[in-house]
């Protein structure tokens, strides 16, 4: 048995797994993740199939499993849904074409598994205009998928649908979509640009977390809520303009965006959420030096923790660099909150 180390796309912990598996469960957080193929010069071996099984197992319009061995798959007419494990362990499939009439790509196992989960050789999928819903983890771990054109009628995309698609660099989002679910593009390290439509109201937790190459981001007017860690670790971001419709920012929403230097934060924001370990909305943004804020929140020390902007702001206001408190004393000034001496 050959084993390899694989980082969980959700928590980042390293798991030792069997190379022959297509998917595994993280020992730390319990999340399912795809096991990438070891790089070889040969095509992955095609699994032996029971000759008595139909190539397409369809029940009541749902494609429950694909039992063929072709690298290019044309799903037959008459199918209306792709089952939650329809292409389970189909590591040899390169291209899939879905027919008009398919309205849903399902998930299974309490949404832990998606129809194409772990299809590590899948390079392209043609989705029909009839498609309305894409289930949770539908394409999670499709490490060869480079582009996806999602039809405009799709109004629901489940959590983690494209998480861990490390080659994905071109995405067209549908106009009907109003919410970006949790983890939807988490760990898509090749994604450089994303265009959000004006109908989106909510960006879920970890939606774009660890999209390290994401550089072009426009959050359109209409977005109201941005979840915890939504853009955490997006090293490519340098500027951020939040529209005046945003009323809530999740904990650590933009934390560790190391190259983010200029942000505009509207006065409309009512809530900077705390996840129990702190607010830390922009914590770790080590290049942040310009903040255009409509109003300064009472918990600004936590919102902008560990940023160079915070140091500069506190000194300009004559406040303690450690806690934001005021000083007392004429010659030897000490902070009224933490008791430390003024050090600038």
Task: Please report, for residues 33, 106, 150, 175, 298, the alpha-carbon distance to residue 159 in angstroms, rounded to integers and kept in the order given.
Answer: 13, 12, 16, 18, 33
226: number of Cβ within 10 Å: 26
Pairing type for strands 334-335 and 147-149 reads: unpaired
DSSP string across 303-329: HTTT-HHHHHHHHHTT--TTT---EE-
Q: How confident is the model at residue 235, as a pLDDT?
A: 96
> Distance (Å, rounded) from C-alpha 287 to C-alpha 218?
20
Do 246 and 271 meet the contact criterion of CB atoms below 8 Å apart?
A: no
pLDDT given for residue 51 in this prediction:
64
296 phi, psi to nearest 5 deg: -95, 120
**Count of beta carbons in the 10 Å neighbourhood of residue 148:** 20
What does DSSP assign to residue 44? P
pTM equals 0.85
**In whole angstroms, what is the distance from residue 304 CA to residue 242 CA?**
16
The DSSP bridge pattern shows strands 14-18 and 3-7 to be antiparallel
Q: In whole angstroms, give the CA distance from residue 47 to residue 21.
A: 12
Per-residue pLDDT of the chain (344 residues; tens, 9 = 90+): 567 777 676 666 777 777 666 566 677 766 666 676 554 444 445 555 566 679 999 999 999 999 999 999 999 999 999 999 999 879 999 999 999 999 999 998 777 789 999 899 999 999 999 999 999 999 999 999 999 999 999 999 999 999 999 999 989 899 999 999 999 999 999 999 998 988 999 999 999 999 999 998 999 999 999 999 999 999 999 999 999 999 999 999 999 999 999 999 999 999 999 998 889 999 999 999 999 999 999 999 999 999 999 999 999 999 998 899 999 988 889 999 899 999 88
Q: Residue 42: what pLDDT? A: 46
CA-atom Rg of the chain in angstroms: 24
Q: Name the pairing type of β-strands 133-134 and 156-157.
A: parallel
Strand partners of residue 104: 81, 133
The b/e string for 16-37 (b: 16+ C-beta within 10 A; e otherwise) is ebeeeebbbebeeeebbbbbbb
């Amino acid at each position: 048995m050959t084993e390899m180390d694989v980082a969980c796309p959700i928590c980042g912990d390293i798991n030792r797994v069997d190379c022959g598996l297509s998917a595994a469960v993280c020992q730390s957080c319990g999340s399912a993740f795809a096991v990438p193929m070891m790089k070889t010069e040969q095509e992955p071996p095609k699994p032996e199939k029971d000759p008595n099984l139909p190539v397409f197992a369809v029940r009541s319009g749902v494609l429950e499993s694909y039992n063929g061995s072709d690298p290019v798959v044309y799903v037959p007419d008459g199918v209306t849904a792709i089952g939650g494990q329809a292409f389970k362990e189909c590591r040899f499939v390169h291209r899939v074409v879905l027919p008009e009439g398919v309205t849903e790509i399902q998930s299974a196992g309490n949404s832990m598994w998606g129809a194409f989960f772990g299809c590590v050789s899948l390079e392209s999928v043609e989705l029909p205009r009839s498609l309305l819903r894409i289930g949770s983890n539908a394409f999670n771990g499709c490490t060869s998928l480079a582009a996806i054109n999602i039809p405009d009628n799709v109004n629901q995309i489940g959590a983690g649908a494209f998480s861990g698609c490390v080659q994905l660099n071109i995405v067209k989002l549908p106009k009907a979509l109003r919410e970006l679910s949790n983890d939807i593009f988490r760990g898509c390290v090749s994604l450089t640009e994303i265009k959000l439509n004006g109908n989106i109201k909510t960006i879920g937790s970890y939606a774009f977390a660890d999209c390290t190459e994401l550089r072009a981001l426009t959050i359109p007017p209409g977005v109201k809520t941005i979840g915890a860690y939504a853009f955490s670790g997006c090293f490519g971001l340098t500027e951020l303009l939040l529209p005046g419709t945003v009323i809530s920012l999740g904990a650590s929403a933009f934390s560790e965006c190391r190259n983010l230097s200029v942000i505009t934060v509207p006065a409309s924001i009512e809530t900077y959420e705390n996840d129990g370990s702190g607010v830390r909305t922009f914590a770790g943004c080590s290049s942040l030096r310009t903040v255009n804020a409509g109003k300064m929140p009472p918990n600004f020390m936590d919102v902008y923790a560990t940023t160079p902007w915070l140091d500069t702001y506190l000194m300009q206001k004559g406040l303690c660099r450690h806690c934001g408190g005021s000083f007392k004393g004429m010659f030897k000034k000490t902070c009224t909150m933490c008791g430390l001496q003024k050090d600038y």
